[in-house]
Structures are given as C-alpha cells and as structure tokens.
C-alpha cells in the first residue's frame, strides 16, 4: 500500500468511526467532547493532515480535497445531531408547559362590599320601609352644624367629649352624624323621618375598639306627640332586623346636650356573649345606640316650634354594629385594607 493509499484508507476509516461516535452520543456535552476529539485543533483530523508531508505534490492535492470533504461531512453530522438534541429539549418543554387554550378563562375576581356597607344598606332598607328618607351631609362641617345648632354652645364641656380634628380655616371633620339632623330639619321641615349614615372622625388613640375614622347612622323622627315609647319601638325593630335573633339590651340614662331625656342603649356583647373581651372592654356590654327625645332648643334653632312638634333622635354606631354582627374583634381590620379580610364578606 502506498503512503497515499494508506492515508486515504485511514481517513475513510476515521470518517466511519466518527459517524458512529456521533450517533452514539446522548447529550450535547458528550457530542461536544467527540467534536473536539475529531475536529479540534489537536484532533484526529489534524493529526492525519500532519502526515501529508510525506506525499508528492499531486497526492497532497487529492488528499487535501479528501480531507476537506471528510471534514465537511463530519461537520454536517455534528450539526444534525446537535439539532436533534435542540428539538428534543424543545419538545420536552412544550409538553411540560402545555396549556389548553380552549379552556374558558377564570374571569376577573369579583370584589365584595365592605361589611360596614353591607350593614348600612340593610338598615337603610329597614328604615325606608318605615317611611324614613336617607340623607347625606358633608364630612367637612361648620362648627355651627356640628356643635352650636345641636345645643352645644362654645366652651361647653360637651365639646371636650369629642376630640375634634380642626381645619385651619375654622371648619372641622364632623365628630358625629348629628349635624345632618340640623340640615334635615332645615331642608325638609316637620313632620320628618330621616336617617343619615356616614363617616365621622375623632382625634382618638387607636386600639382594638377605637378608630379615628368610623361610621355612624343618625336617625331622627319629628312629629306631634312623639314619646319615648316610639323611640323604643323603632330601636327594637331596628335591632331585631339587624341581628335576626334576640339580643339583650339595656337602657341607661345618657347625657347629650341635643336630647332630653337622653339614653344609652347598650347591647350585650355578641363577640364574647357577655363574659368580657377587648371589644366590650371586659364589661360584657357594648354601647351601640345613644338616643333620646330632641331637645327643644335644637328644634327652635332650626326653625321648628317645640310647642307644636317634638321627636326622637339616635346615633347608631355602624362600625360597632358591623363588628358585632360579623364577629370582628378588632376595629383596625375595617380600614386596614387587607384583601384577605375583605374577601370574607
């Protein structure tokens, strides 16, 4: 065998064995190792081409051609095998991440009404069915509507009962919904049945049962010969509608300058059943419904003749009521904005 023939033979042989090696590879890493071994700078092909020095000029030409041919064939084989690996990886990924596009979507998550809103609309419905009008009033109020017109003159100690947020221009954030009584009397005149739910503000230290911002629902009825018996009837109707079960209540005398006589209607704490918890401050009772007969001065200040008309008023603690109703043991949940809390309603 001439040197030329033996070179040609070993090239062919190398081609065949390299192809087998390529096909036997089962990972891109293994393939890369074979590629370096065959086509690398110090690889088999490079070794063979070194032997060309022993050949004649013409022989060198044809062996060179053959070398290039084999190199081309092997490169193609490597590329093809790499392509197979890439396809397999893609295929596996497609199977893993398969999504059924024909499935209907889940749709946007529905919001829910805030517990205070739920209870507010429920109470509005009760009172509407009893002939009451639902009124709205401003949250930024004048001193006149929040205090003076409610028989709370300047420097009266009752002003200190409610820690007020004052605005720099002399207006204030209403400390109760009672100013809407004043607006209702002026707007509608007697006879009058109105309620006014809304947000009120007090400069209070926040804890489990106190917030600087909470909700009340004011109520007022003015007619001829309204008595405490009417007041009690409406309050009982209200509470039995809201709780849909018997609740234990008690009536205590209470002082508010805009009612005479004034009462505090308490309900037995529904969180602890009366045994004492943070919401009822361990007393077993929750102040829920301050009320009373409208003071003659209040009627007079709003242009209603107390000789002819009288009435009752109440200021229901909506926030507390919602806590009792839904068993919420910390008032801070209500304005906390935590969706995990709100989604329960």
Binding site for ligand PHE (CB under 6 A): 176, 178, 256, 259, 262, 290-292, 313-315
User: Is 309 or 314 the residue whose CB approaches ligand PHE more closely?
Assistant: 314
Using only C-alpha atoms, the chain has a radius of gyration, in whole angstroms, of 44
What distance in Å separates the CA atoms of residue 95 and residue 202, rounded to the nearest whole number?
61
To 5 degrees, how large is the angle CA 295–CA 119–CA 110? 150
- CB contact at 8 A, 307 and 323: no
Cα maximum dimension of the chain:
140
CB of 263 to ligand PHE, least distance (A): 8
In the complex, the smallest distance separating the C-beta of residue 105 from ligand PHE, rounded to whole angstroms, is 48
Integer CA distances (angstroms), 228 to 28, 127, 234, 311, in order: 92, 18, 10, 9
Find the shortest distance in angstroms from Cβ 245 to ligand PHE.
Answer: 25
State the nearest-atom distance from the C-beta of 206 to ligand PHE, in Å.
18
Q: How far is the CB of 275 from ligand PHE (least distance, A)?
A: 27
Nearest CB to ligand PHE, comparing residues 7 and 301: 301
Inter-residue contact 196 to 180 (CB < 8 Å): yes
The closest of 174, 218, 240, 231 to 318, measured between CA atoms, is 218
- Cβ closest to ligand PHE, residue 81 vs residue 178: 178
Q: Which is nearer to ligand PHE, 190 or 311 (CB)?
A: 311
When the beta carbons of 32 and 163 are compared against ligand PHE, the nearer one is 163
Smallest gap from residue 315 Cβ to ligand PHE (A): 3
The residue (of 35 and 193) whose beta carbon lies closer to ligand PHE is 193
Q: Distance (Å, rounded) from C-alpha 243 to C-alpha 270?
A: 10
């Amino acid at each position: 065998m001439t040197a030329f023939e033996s070179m040609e033979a070993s090239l062919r042989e190398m081609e065949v064995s390299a192809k087998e090696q390529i096909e036997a590879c089962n990972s891109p890493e293994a393939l890369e190792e074979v590629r370096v071994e065959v086509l690398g700078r110090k690889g088999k092909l490079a070794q063979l081409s070194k032997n060309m020095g022993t050949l004649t000029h013409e022989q060198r030409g044809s062996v060179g051609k053959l070398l290039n041919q084999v190199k081309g064939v092997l490169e193609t084989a490597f590329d093809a095998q790499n392509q197979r690996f890439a396809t397999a990886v893609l295929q596996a990924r497609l199977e893993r991440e398969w999504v059924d596009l024909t499935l209907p979507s889940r749709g946007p998550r529905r919001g829910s009404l805030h517990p205070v809103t739920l209870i507010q609309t429920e109470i509005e419905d009760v009172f509407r069915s009893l002939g009451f009008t639902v009124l709205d009033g401003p949250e930024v109020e004048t001193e006149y509507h929040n205090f003076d017109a409610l028989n709370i003159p300047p420097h009266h100690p009752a002003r200190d009962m409610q820690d007020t947020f004052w605005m720099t221009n002399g207006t204030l954030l209403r400390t109760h919904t009672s100013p809407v009584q004043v607006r209702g009397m002026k707007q509608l005149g007697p006879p009058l049945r109105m309620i006014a739910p809304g947000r009120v503000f007090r400069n209070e230290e926040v804890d489990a049962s106190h917030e600087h911002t909470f909700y009340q629902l004011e109520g007022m009825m003015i007619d001829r010969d309204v008595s405490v018996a009417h007041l009690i009837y409406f309050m009982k109707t209200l509470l039995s509608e809201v709780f849909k079960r018997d609740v234990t209540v008690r009536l205590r005398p209470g002082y508010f300058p805009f009612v005479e006589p004034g009462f505090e209607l308490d309900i037995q704490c529904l969180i602890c059943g009366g045994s004492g918890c943070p919401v009822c401050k361990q007393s077993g009772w929750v102040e829920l419904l301050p009320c009373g007969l409208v003071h003659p001065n209040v009627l007079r200040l709003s242009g209603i003749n107390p000789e002819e008309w009288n009435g009752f008023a109440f200021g229901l603690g909506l926030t507390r009521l919602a806590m009792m109703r839904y068993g919420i043991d910390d008032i801070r949940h209500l304005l906390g904005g935590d969706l995990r809390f709100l989604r329960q309603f």
